[in-house]
Amino acid sequence: MFGLSALELARIQFGFTVSFHIIFPAITIGLASYLAVLEGLWLWKKDTVYRELYHFWSKIFAVNFAMGVVSGLVMAYQFGTNWSYFSAFAGAVTGPLLAYEVLTAFFLEAGFLGVMLFGWRKVGPGLHFFATIMVAIGTLISATWILASNSWMQTPQGHEIIDGRVVPVDWLKIVFNPSFPYRLAHMTIAAYLATALFVGASGAWHLLRRRDTPAVRRMLSMAMWMLLIVAPLQILVGDAHGLNTLAHQPAKIAAMEGHWRNVPGEGVPLILFGLPDMAAETTRYAIEIPRLGSLILTHSLDGQFPGLSEFPAADRPNATIVFWSFRIMVGLGMLMLLLGLWAIWARWRKRLYNSRPLLRLALWMGPSGLIAILAGWFTTEIGRQPWVVYGVMRTEHAVSNHSALALSTTLILFLVIYVIVFGTGVSYMLRLVGRGPEAHREPEDATGDAGRRPARPLSALTDARVPAPDLSTDRRG
């Protein structure tokens, strides 16, 4: 297809399916914790606004979760189907980490999700809260294992290579490999940021349409507080992550900075914009700030770090891509910080809920967290190339022996299905957001009896526009 090799097609297929996938778990992680907080606040303060928000966001969560599950299923099999040499080579490390993710996270989430979404009247409030917390914890455990696995591929340690395959020697070293703590913190915060921006945009959208209810105000307010706290935190963590990358994957940093060679005795400038040219080994049209690159990466004015020319051509990641994906991520991060600061200033001036420019920015920033996550992953994964396990196995040696024809066929299949299925799902999510949190009617007999146990978990999703003929007769009182 388009003259692409089987290796390129396999990489595109993996990149495409995992990029689609990561959007859903990121929102799942953030929303699950948000829902736990909302339910906790409802139980503690008995303020019905929290319960209203809980029911509103749990419907959106349910749609999002289903898409995360089915897109994740593909990932669990793709290592074997598309990257069989990698699986056979490194499976002794990445396999157990994935198995632990399934055992400690996926089952936990799935096991308590039914009760969380549909058990509101079937179990007591304490037990229901417990189910919500279990789902939220499950999402965080899941992130921990998969990021341990990914980080090991970035900064492998704790293993030996015996008879041409990886043998784990020290599991603590494998899990707590050098880049893991940074990546875990960076990604978890990113998920919280992306969710806060999504929730904030939802609140802003309703306020811009003059649907000014306590629940709408509360969600915007909570989102902006969250943003104010986590956006600066993310910048600090990102900086630390960058230094860690410099220590362990200097070629990636050189590519991200478009930095080709050092001038003896001179600090490295920060290239704000430019176009890295891989063939000419230079960054064209560079707009530079002298010494700022040194300051950021070495925390001194004339410190140096390796340029991309210092690495053999076969070991260089594509700087043209990662230079830009990195800038998109950082640029959006700065905008997030700006939004958080603007919101606290507006709050202080009592204009948080009616400053239209602010609300408009909050609305437009809605997808920015997810775009930043994708840009960040493009940076770290393409920046790891040409290695699949950094310094240990090259990507070209990892791929299965499928023909370009087989890969093209399945790629087109995935493209069509993902666009239709997940495009529709996202539109349903946005429609739910658009309907807004309505006062949630609580049945008088909250305990319920055996004959009235709601049997349909997905009923949490039932659109108000769906005629549900038996609803009124079924509901007593």
Partner 1 sequence: MGIDLPLIWAIIIGFGLMMYVIMDGFDLGIGILFPLVRNRGDRDTMVNTVAPVWDGNETWLVFGGAALYAAFPLAYAVVLSALYLPLVLMLAGLIWRGVAFEFRFKAAEAHKPFWDKAFAWGSYIATFFQGVALGAFINGFPVADRSYAGGALDWLTPFSFFTGLGLIAAYALLGSTWLIMKTEGDLQRRMIALARPATLALLAAMAVVSLWTPLAHPDVAARWFSLPNLVFFSPVPLLVLLAAWLLLRALARGAQATPFALALFLLFLGYSGLAISLWPNLIPPAISIWDAAGPSQALGFTLVGTLFIIPFILAYTAWSYYVFRGKVRAGEGYH
User: Contacts with partner 1 in 155-184 (CB under 8 A)?
Assistant: 162, 165, 167-169, 171
The angle formed by the CA atoms of residues 229, 235 and 239, to the nearest 5 degrees, is 145
Q: Establish if 30 lies at the interface with partner 1 (CB under 8 A).
A: no
Residue 419 near partner 1 by CB under 8 A: no
Nearest CB to partner 1, comparing residues 121 and 291: 121
By beta-carbon proximity to partner 1, the closer residue of 303 and 448 is 448
Nearest distance from C-beta of residue 326 to partner 1, angstroms: 32
**Which candidate, 293, 295, 300, 275, places its Cα nearest to that of 285?**
275
Name the one range near partner 1 by CB under 8 A: 99-107, 267-275, 330-338, 341-349.
99-107
CB nearer to partner 1: give 45 or 453: 453
Q: Which of 161, 263, 301, 417 binds partner 1 (CB under 8 A)?
A: 417
Q: Which residues pair with 273 in a beta bridge?
A: 287
Binding mask 123-162 for partner 1 (x = CB under 8 A): x--------------------------------------x
Q: How far is the CB of 385 from partner 1 (least distance, A)?
A: 21
- Return the closest-CA partner of residue 113 out of 463, 457, 456: 457
Which of 5, 157, 354, 424 touches partner 1 by CB under 8 A? 424
Binding mask 452-471 for partner 1 (x = CB under 8 A): xxxxxxxxxxxx-xxxxxxx
Under the criterion CB under 8 A, does residue 102 sit at the interface with partner 1?
yes
**Least distance (Å) between residue 120 CB and partner 1:** 7
Residue with tokens 């099999």: 77
DSSP-derived 3-state class of residue 387:
strand
Q: What's the length of the chain?
A: 477
Instruction: Decide if residue 3 touches partner 1 (CB under 8 A).
Output: no
Minimal distance, residue 466 CB to partner 1, in Å: 7
* Integer Rg of the chain from CA: 24
Tell me: does residue 334 bind partner 1 (CB under 8 A).
no
Q: Which 3-state string (H, E, C) describes 88-129? A: HHHHHHHHHHHHHHHHHHHHHHHHHHHHHHHCCCCCCHHHHH
Q: Smallest distance from the beta carbon of 106 to partner 1, in angstroms? A: 5
Whole-angstrom distance, CA of residue 242 vs CA of residue 259: 15
Stretch that binds partner 1, among 26-34, 87-95, 241-249, 328-336 (CB under 8 A): 87-95
Give residue 180's region: left, alpha or beta (phi > 0; psi -120 to 50).
alpha
- For 291, 320, 383, the CA distances from 281, given in Å and listed in that order, are 20, 11, 16
User: Which of positions 355-414 make contact with partner 1 (CB under 8 A)?
Assistant: 400-403, 406, 409-410, 413-414
Task: Work out whether 120 is an interface residue with partner 1 (CB under 8 A).
Answer: yes
DSSP string for 351-386: -TTT-HHHHHHHHHTTTHHHHHHHHHHHHHHHTTTT
